[in-house]
């Protein structure tokens, strides 16, 4: 089994009631926490970096926002 964590860095445009405002950088920190938790327990994860740094959220999760 392999896992990869996805997150959005921009709001989805959900209809009312509006979700809470996005925080700077979106929710990549949550995706990174999930991926690291799996990895630290020996569960293989797919990451954007081949050797992710535990201190860098961007190394652990994929941002699904497409600016086009």
Q: What is the pLDDT of residue 56?
A: 92
Contact of 7 with 28, CB cutoff 8 Å: yes
Q: Residue 57 region, left (φ>0) first, then alpha (ψ -120 to 50), else beta?
A: alpha
Identify the band that residue 30 occupies on the pLDDT scale cut at 50, 70 and 90.
confident
Which domain does 29 fall in, by range? 1-10+24-68
pTM: 0.62
Domain count within the chain: 1
Please write the tens of the pLDDT for every residue from 36-63: 999 999 999 889 899 999 999 889 888 7
In a domain, 16, yes or no: no
C-alpha to C-alpha distance for 32 and 63, rounded to whole angstroms: 11
Closest CA to 7 of 19, 18, 20, 22: 22
């Amino acid at each position: 089994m392999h896992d990869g964590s996805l997150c959005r860095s921009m709001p989805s445009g959900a209809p009312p009631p509006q979700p809470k405002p996005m925080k700077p950088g979106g929710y990549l920190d949550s995706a990174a926490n999930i991926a690291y938790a799996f990895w630290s327990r020996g569960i293989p994860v797919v990451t954007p970096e081949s050797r992710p740094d535990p201190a860098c959220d961007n190394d652990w999760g994929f941002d699904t926002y497409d600016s086009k």
